[in-house]
Amino acid sequence: MMRYTMGRLISLCLSLIVASIVIFTVVEVVPGDPAAYMLGVNARPDTLAALRSELGLDMSLPERYFAWTTGMMQGDFGQSYTYRTPIAAMIADRVWVSLPLALFALTLTIVIAFPAGIYAASRRGKLGDLGVMGATQLGVAVPNFWFAMILVMIFAIKLRWFSAGGFAGWEGGLLSGLKSLLLPAVALALPQAAILARVMRSSLLDMLGEDFIRTARAKGLSRRQALWRHALRNALIPVLTIIGLQFSFLLAGGIVIEQIFFLPGLGRLIFQAISARDLIVVESVVMLLVFVVIVVNFVIDLTYAAVDPRLRLRK
């Protein structure tokens, strides 16, 4: 177990290093002169020079990369060029919208997908299975941002159950915060739940065909007992992989969905930064998102080992 955890930890660090190099390269090397890019064609030479020294462009590339990464490790993400405020502070406000949204959506995804997938697998080929599979087939095809628009049209504009957008904040209590995240979370979660339910079903059906299920049945377990006690835990292994990928998808998808619901999250920040050509903000927010995704996948890797004893021994 120790060795497995250490192995995953090393792989986590490597991923972070490679990811930061890729992002750094794309943002600070590819455009040529980032300062010129940020200021556009009509920049005055003295402004350009000022920005260049502010960005540290007089330093060598490795020095800049090193300064950027060590800064982030100490919580210093640099200064936004457009707002003249520390990026860390801007992120800190917004991360408490985006991260809860992604986690909320992930929870909904799992809560919907697990029962649906298990139900469909246990009713294989019967009407219930066909119904669930038909619904998921449709769910997979729905773009989440369009689904979000439909939800707004129905629940906010027609029925007026929810406000059409904006975020109540966490100060008013957990519930009111969650309420303003509910529609966006549902919009994000349903299409992903459709995918996860299908994976759950097929993974369970694979397991139900395994020899050890026959052994369990020979012990006197009913089909249902064999599914719950033996197939489910084995079926979780591929399901976990998908959940890891889905978190990344939900976090990124949230950036788009935030636009529709006017949520003050990282999405708005990143789009504002893109239109203002504020590359430093873009770079830092992207790195933060990638960091979260990599850490979540690390947690998923550890969960694997909890589910599958064979992993605990492997190198």
Smallest distance, another protein to C-beta of residue 175, A: 27
Smallest distance, another protein to C-beta of residue 173, A: 30
Smallest distance, another protein to C-beta of residue 291, A: 10
What is the Cα–Cα distance from 185 to 103, expressed in whole angstroms? Answer: 9
Query: Which residues, including other chains, have CB under 8 Å from residue 248's CB and lie 6 or more apart?
Result: 293, 296, 297
Q: The dihedral of CA 56, 59, 60, 62: what is its sign?
A: negative
User: Which residues within the stretch 6-65 sit at the binding site for another protein (CB under 8 A)?
Assistant: 6, 11, 14-15, 18-19, 23, 26-27, 30-31, 37
DSSP 81-135: TTT-SBHHHHHHHHHHHHHHHHHHHHHHHHHHHHHHHHHHHHTTTSHHHHHHHHH
Question: Which residue among 50, 138, 166, 169 contacts another protein (CB under 8 A)?
Answer: 138
What is the Cα–Cα distance from 300 to 253, expressed in whole angstroms? Answer: 20
Whichever of 167 and 249 has its CB closer to another protein, that residue is 249
Selected range binding another protein among 47-55, 75-83, 103-111, 285-293, rule: CB under 8 A: 285-293
Smallest distance, another protein to C-beta of residue 11, A: 8
User: Which residues within the stretch 251-280 sit at the binding site for another protein (CB under 8 A)?
Assistant: 251-253, 255-256, 259-260, 270-271, 274, 279
User: Which residues within the stretch 191-250 sit at the binding site for another protein (CB under 8 A)?
Assistant: 195, 198-199, 202, 210-212, 214-222, 225, 229-230, 233-234, 242, 245-246, 248-249
What is the Cα–Cα distance from 257 to 168, expressed in whole angstroms? Answer: 16
What is the Cα–Cα distance from 233 to 207, expressed in whole angstroms? Answer: 10
User: Which residues within the stretch 291-310 sit at the binding site for another protein (CB under 8 A)?
Assistant: 293-294, 297, 307-310
Whichever of 2 and 73 has its CB closer to another protein, that residue is 2
Whichever of 95 and 294 has its CB closer to another protein, that residue is 294
Whichever of 7 and 172 has its CB closer to another protein, that residue is 7
Whichever of 122 and 246 has its CB closer to another protein, that residue is 246
Tokens matching residue 225: 């007992």
Single-letter amino acid code for the residue at 143 = P
User: Which residues within the stretch 65-84 sit at the binding site for another protein (CB under 8 A)?
Assistant: none
Tokens matching residue 201: 């079903």
Note whether 199 and 148 are within 8 A (CB): no
What is the Cα–Cα distance from 16 to 249, expressed in whole angstroms? Answer: 18
Whichever of 8 and 108 has its CB closer to another protein, that residue is 8
Over its C-alpha atoms, the chain yields an Rg (Å, rounded) of 24
User: Which residues within the stretch 140-199 sit at the binding site for another protein (CB under 8 A)?
Assistant: 140-146, 149-150, 152-153, 157, 195, 198-199
Q: Look at residue 209 and give its three-state secondary structure.
A: coil
Q: Does 126 bind another protein (CB under 8 A)?
A: no
Smallest distance, another protein to C-beta of residue 174, A: 26
